[in-house]
Amino acid sequence: MKTLLIIWTCLCTGLCMAQAPKSDGTHVTVHAGENALETLLTEEQKQSVTHLTVTGTLLDADYTFLRDRLYGQLDTLNLRAANIDTLPDIRTEDIWVSSPNKIHLILPLNIEHIGVNFLSQFSGYNIEVTGNFPTFGASFSTPPYSYGIKVLLSEDNFSYKTKISKTPDRVPETYYSSIYSLDEETLYYMNIDDGGEYTIKEGTKVIHGTAFRNLILTMSKLILPASLDSIGDYAFEHTLCLMPVGYVNKPYPTLGHWEPGIICEAIEPPKLGKDVFKESVLMFSYLYVHEACIERYKQADGWNSAIEVRAIEKMGDYPHSVLPLKKGEENISVTTTPDSYELTFGQKPLYMEMYNTNGVLLTKHPIESSSLSIDRNRLVTPCTIVCVHFTNGTTETVKLIP
């Protein structure tokens, strides 16, 4: 009996040790799934943890606890060994429940999909892909700049390769990274920094579904190669620009001049999956293709959502510093800041109306000066249409992106 009691005591002690979180205060490891994550951490750990490693799985309540209590303080959430194939959808109204934080998110080895709005819980993030490259759900609230977002491969992930490219005409020299398949025929993700020209390399045949999904781009040119054959589902959905590509008030000093555009070198319009350009930057941009192919792109579903299809061969014929959204719009000058748009008027303004993309009137008020500032927080996604009525009877429109 005494021997059995000793064995039973050892088993219970071992079980408790296995379930107890390992911790040095800031670095905590827990095995989740059977008990709520909130009960696995001590009150001291809830206050001090900055690096949380989770094995096992996570309950629905655990994601709420993370959002409400821990995301605001975590530097790293390590799910590499967790038994999770899908990170859940998050309701839009729950996104900013807690103070968001930039986080290093290490994905599970068997991840397949990151749910709607999941990444919107963070003010910025680095994602470390340890296994297969996941798909991304839609996001209705994104960090303000794409250079706050990085998607990287773990050191032992040999299923893909990272290509480093130099950004042309930048001083000092800058570089950006892209994740490709091993045969370099599929682009999975491009890490966009600030401004400049970004090129999907020649030889790429496929842009992976969701490759640019939800990003806010700060580039002046995105060049799609002649080899491109297809673009996957949702690849550019909700992909926006700080200013619509093709509508720029003044050049960036680091670029020397500004000649923005989405350029597709392919002779035949690449095949598109589902909702590739839904509510995306292409709807507010010029598309440049070879002159002989213009009519093909104008007739191709998806590609014809661009404001205008223009010839690559004639790009130099357009002004470098000012590219109006429509010809004749010369009475509204727009300057972008991180928090607002500054509008200056060439004619005396009378009043302004703001609409969403469904044509619903949001606000209407008089303008009593030759300039005004519009807070970006007042704008709605995917863009707000601003109509300015002038005393000379004319009306001009600009599209502003949050």
pLDDT tens digits along 59-94: 999 999 999 999 989 999 999 999 999 999 998 778
By C-alpha distance, which of 197, 190, 111 is closest to 149? Answer: 190
CA-nearest of 271, 268, 311, 262 to 289 is 311
- Side chain identity at residue 316, one-letter code: G
Q: Is 42 helix (H, G, I), strand (E, B) or coil?
A: coil
For the stretch 295-340, pLDDT in tens is 999 999 999 988 789 898 877 554 333 333 333 346 888 888 878 8
Residue spans of beta strands (DSSP E) within 25-123: 27-32, 51-56, 76-78, 86-87, 102-106, 113-114
Cα gap 195→178, rounded to integer Å: 16
Q: Is 37 left (phi over 0), alpha (psi -120 to 50) or beta?
A: alpha
**pLDDT tens for each residue of the chain, 402 residues long:** 444 444 444 444 444 444 456 666 799 999 999 999 999 999 999 999 999 999 999 999 999 999 999 998 999 999 999 999 999 999 877 876 556 688 999 999 999 999 998 988 887 889 999 999 999 998 865 444 455 689 999 999 999 999 999 888 776 788 889 999 999 999 999 988 766 788 999 999 999 998 988 877 666 688 999 999 999 999 988 776 544 444 333 333 333 334 457 899 999 999 999 999 887 777 767 889 999 999 999 999 999 988 789 898 877 554 333 333 333 346 888 888 878 888 999 888 888 888 776 566 778 788 888 888 998 888 887 778 888 888 877 778 888 887
Longest dimension (CA), the chain: 101
CB 260 within 8 A of CB 245: yes
| Cα 384–chain centre separation | 19
How far is the C-alpha of 277 from the C-alpha of 260, rounded, in Å? Answer: 18
Task: Say if strands 27-32 and 102-106 run parallel, antiparallel, or are unpaired.
Answer: unpaired
Q: Which residues contact 138 (CB under 8 A, 6 or more apart)?
A: 116, 117, 213, 214, 234, 237, 238
User: Burial, 47: exposed, middle or buried (Cβ in 10 Å; 0-12, 13-18, 19+)?
Assistant: exposed
> What is the distance between the alpha carbons of residues 209 and 227, in angstroms, rounded to a whole number?
17
Residues 348, 389: Cα–Cα separation, whole Å: 9
Residue 289 is inside which H or E element, if any? strand 286-289
As a whole number of angstroms, the distance between CA 247 and CA 245 comes to: 6
Six-digit token string for 212: 């640019």
pLDDT recorded at residue 338: 78
Q: How far apart are CA 290 and CA 311, in angstroms?
A: 5
Ranges of beta strands (E only) in 64-153 are 76-78, 86-87, 102-106, 113-114, 124-129, 135-136, 149-153
> What pLDDT is recorded for position 251?
34
Query: What SS3 state is found at 379?
Result: coil
CA of residue 310 relative to chain centroid, distance: 26
Burial of 387 (0-12, 13-18, 19+ CB in 10 A): middle
